A = this chain, B = another copy of it.
Amino acid sequence: MAKKDTKRDADKKRKKSPPALRELLRIPPGEGAELASYDPRATPGGPRDKAAGQEAMTPMAERLAGLQDRLYAASTAGDHRRLLLVLQGMDTSGKGGTVKHVIGLFNPSGCRIRAFKTPTPEERSHPFLWRVKRALPQRGEIGIFDRSHYEDVLITRVRELVPRRDVGRRYGQINRFEQSLADDGVTIVKVFLHISYEEQRDRLLARLGNPDKHWKFSPSDIDDRALWPAYQEAYELALHRCSTEAAPWHLVPADRKWYRNWAISTLLLEHLEELDPAYPKADFDVEKSRERLLSEGRP
């Protein structure tokens, strides 16, 4: 018995590849997360330092662009799959930086990016998921939400913009909505960018120190910091109630920008590799077309 077990363990060890980053960063469905227990400066599963992290981006860029090309190509032959990256996090946590540095690695023609701001009067006149449904990626595309329907259980909860009871109902509505997307072939990659209170202060100070960035700053950003604990609590609730098998949350420590870029690129890579989209086979006679082209005259 003992011997057998040892052999099995050895087999297991030999075959074992490093755990996928998505496993490492996933908020286990049903379990939730206490944010204070996660170090925003950590680099779980990541390269050893900034230089190594940046170096890892180049080969990853090529693989990401290649997979995106296959995803789009497959859609032209009826594959209805697509990917949706949902970015959430406190102000300055790096949502915009992620779009610039990670999404910038893709072919822009296959990306559908939407930044959700304060709802317009028209948006407010509809149910909260209305504006989100209009911004979804189409088959073959990679969609990116910079903020999302989660704002409707985050700022809305913290600032009590709608009755608490209504907010409470939204978690279930979100889960059903995301399940229906998954059923439709949407791979949802939800990322919470976890930064520290101190890092946010430093980033706000950096904005103040650069006149070209003053437009990104508002004194209300400082007022919001007084609500930091309430926001963290709202995030914990959202991560707890909406990390599902169909669409789990991932917590990405985001105090280090290089790690954030590396981690989100890796998450996208893992999900796209799992999709493994295929270039469609030609539905025409390739040789015959070649001959036609080679033998044609001037029109």
Contacts and interface: CB of A to CB of B under 8 A. Distances in A.
A48 interface: no
Copies of the chain in the assembly: 2
Contacts of A279: 211-212, 214-215
Contacts of A204: 293
Contact of A222 (B99, B205, B215, B296): B296
A289 interface: yes
Nearest to A70: B212
Binding site of A, secondary structure by majority: helix, strand, loop or mixed?
helix
A38 interface: no
A293 B99 contact: no
A115 B211 CA distance: 37
Interface in A216-256: 216-219, 222, 225-229
6 contacts: A208-B286, A208-B289, A208-B290, A208-B293, A214-B279, A222-B289
Given A208-B290, A215-B77, A289-B217, A225 B99 contact: no
A169 interface: no
B103 A113 contact: no
Interface stretch (A6-14, A104-112, A264-272): A104-112
A13 to B, nearest CB: 37
Given A77-B215, A284-B219, A293-B205, A108 B109 contact: no
A4 interface: no
Nearest to A115: B109
Interface string A263-299: 0000000000000000111101110111011101011
A272 to B, nearest CB: 16
A228 B279 CA distance: 29
A124 interface: no
Interface of A: 69, 73, 76-77, 96, 99-100, 103-104, 106-109, 111, 113, 115, 146, 197, 201, 204-205, 208-209, 211-212, 214-219, 222, 225-229, 279-282, 284-286, 288-290, 292-294, 296, 298-299
Given A108-B108, A228-B299, 6 more contacts: A73-B216, A77-B215, A99-B109, A197-B298, A214-B279, A222-B293
A215 B104 contact: no
Contacts of A299: 197, 225-229
A105 B99 CA distance: 13
